[in-house]
A and B are shown apart, each in its own frame.
Chain A
Amino acid sequence: MTTAEDASFVDFVNTNSGILLRTAGLFTGDRSRAEDLLQTALTKAYLHWSKLHEPTAARAYVRKIMANTATSWWRLRSYGERPTAVLPEVPVPDPTAARDERLMVWRHLRGLPPRQRVVLVLRYYEDLSEAEIADTLGISRGAVKSAASRALQRLRGEMTGSALEEVH
């Protein structure tokens, strides 16, 4: 890799890592794991950096690696093997009802299986279309639709009778 490519990689990280870290945080629900996830994705991207010239394409590529990693790589580690010294994040009640409501939704989102959570993050945070999500995750559009539908159905069921009804 040339010095110019290294400089371009450094520039990309400095410019985009904040945005990507937020997405990683939503994928994992945990700050340290989000950093881990992004570092892993950036390292993989670095190996192919000579082919990634355009920042938007590079960002999409890193996001793609993160999405797939979040649903597969963490399989070994994600459940039942969390560091004992770190307690899971617990939403703190907020005096504002609307904020409480969203914290509750986030808590339910964190409880979703990894693939469903990733699909919702890509759909409702990254604003990707079903086709784009399918391409990102390497699955069919039907599978995206199915995962999103099941996730929303599950959230609906878990939120029934609570803040959800107050929206309308």
Chain B
Amino acid sequence: MANSVEYLVREALQLEATSRNPVPFDGVETLRRARRARTRRRIAVPFAAILAVVAISAGAGVVTASVERTPATPAASATPTVTRQHKPGVVQVRDNKLSTPDGRTFTLPTTGDSRFQQWIRLEPAYDGWLVSSSVKTIWVRSDGRTSVVSEVPPDDLAEALASPDGRKVAVTRHGRGEDNTSTVTVYDLAAGTKVGSTQLTGQRDSEYAMAYRWFGGRVVLAQGDSAPYALWDPASGAYHGKFTGQEGRLAGVAADGKRMVGFTTTNGAFCMGFIDPEKDFAMSDQKCDPARNGRFPFPSLSPDRHRVAFLDIEADAGVWTATVDGDRIVPDRPLPAPKSTADRGLVWDGDGRVLYQLPTFTSVADWAACDLAAGRCRKLNGKIDVLFGAQNPPAGS
């Protein structure tokens, strides 16, 4: 049986490759594009930084003034369309509209990417939410005003990561067609100021360094989203150690606030545990699970930090969870969850459910919601671009 599968795979790949009959690239045209990318690289970082600073200073926040005293006036933003209708239970973006649990709906601007017209990331932020596409991040305020926090040219990439309290945002910018250099800049949304910036060179081919998680006021930088890690303080610019050599992913900051919960895969062995960014991300109190060896799931910590859920896009099981009890991590019983190939991670809602995207071949997706208490999963109604389980935005609302 195994041999026949391998034989069929080989045959299928050969057939598919030959049936494509692609038109080769024109060397001169490719050279011209490469030169243009190289030229753009020289100006891309300053351009992006200027754009963000302009956006921040002009609207996404008022420099040196806190929002408590001086509400920010958005620059690039549009008059919001606000309507009240259903209560979805989670914050979500659907059909270019952001809907909140209390029934408000805000019409969003375009994603800034003509080829990919869906928003792909949604996070609670100070007095609202951050909504991101591959090239643009907007700050949607609780009253519906929107401001551009970051925007890069269509061929580049930008990712925004809000701090746990939502007051700060770390923006990673990376130019497509460049080498592995990327820039991470942290802004204080509440104060409307730039906190710090660093330029990084990725260690692996085509995997650029990025702001991956927050740890207190510092940022965990990672190569891709699968380690190795380094800890960076945007305020002082100091690094705590260099990039480590481990592989794994971090779920979030543990309840004690001193360590992070995550997993590593050393030689394929899957071990969950507590990872200390102050000690070169060493793992302690680990729990290895041979049944998960070779897995590389997307972990997410529950809002109360007592449970971690894993979305495994390579396993038939789909989703499993573990309980974080003090210094112990104990795997729970497997959840009968539908499988997913969408590597977008999962989110928790305020009712102890985990939600994740089901496989899709269209521009928008079905989402599944798993009730951990009941041990049951079901499909959510309607197609959703992205959602976040926070019931309310953080401070400032």
Contact = CB atoms under 8 A, between A and B. Distances in A.
Given A79-B357, A113-B314, A17 B176 contact: no
B116 A26 contact: no
Contacts of A18: 22-24
A65 B361 contact: no
B27 A10 contact: yes
Contacts of A116: 314
A72 B224 contact: yes
Contact of A79 (B117, B293, B294, B343): B343
B31 A13 contact: yes
Interface in B131-189: 134, 157, 159, 176-179
Interface string B226-268: 0000000000000000000001000000000000000001011
Contact of B12 (A31, A35, A47, A105): A105
B385 interface: yes
B22 A43 contact: no
Nearest to A32: B115
Given A34-B22, A76-B134, A156-B2, A83 B116 contact: yes
B37 A43 contact: yes
A10 B28 CA distance: 6
A103 B192 CA distance: 55
Interface of A: 6, 9-14, 17-18, 21-23, 25-26, 31, 34-35, 38-44, 46-48, 64-65, 68-69, 72-73, 75-84, 88, 99, 101-103, 105-106, 109, 111-116, 120-121, 124-125, 138-140, 142-143, 146-147, 149-150, 152, 154-157, 159, 163-164, 167-168
A31 B9 contact: no
Contacts of A73: 157, 206
Contacts of A159: 5, 8
A75 B64 CA distance: 36
B342 interface: yes
Contact of B15 (A12, A13, A83, A102): A102
B27 A75 contact: no
Given A47-B34, A99-B15, 10 more contacts: A12-B27, A39-B30, A77-B120, A84-B117, A102-B8, A106-B13, A114-B343, A139-B247, A167-B7, A167-B8
A80 B342 CA distance: 8
Nearest to B177: A43
B363 A82 contact: yes
A37 B336 CA distance: 36
A127 to B, nearest CB: 9
B294 A72 contact: no
Given A40-B176, A80-B364, A168-B4, A125 B27 contact: no
A21 B204 CA distance: 22
Interface string B265-291: 101100000000000000000000000
A103 to B, nearest CB: 7
Interface string B4-41: 11111111111111101011111110110111011000
Which of the four size classes fits the interface of chain B? 35 or more
Contacts of B293: 146
Nearest to A73: B206
A74 to B, nearest CB: 10
Contacts of A143: 265, 268, 294
B179 A14 contact: no
Given A43-B33, A105-B9, A105-B12, A80 B365 contact: yes
Contact of A13 (B4, B22, B27, B225): B27
B118 interface: yes
18 contacts: A6-B31, A17-B25, A17-B30, A31-B20, A46-B34, A46-B38, A47-B38, A47-B178, A73-B206, A79-B365, A80-B363, A80-B365, A106-B12, A106-B13, A109-B9, A142-B268, A159-B5, A164-B1
Which of the listed residues A43, A84, A147 has the most CB atoms from chain B within 10 Å of its own CB? A43
A155 B5 contact: yes
B38 A113 contact: no
B80 interface: no
A102 B5 CA distance: 11
A102 B30 contact: no
A69 B208 CA distance: 10
Nearest to A70: B206
Given A6-B31, A140-B267, A65 B206 contact: yes
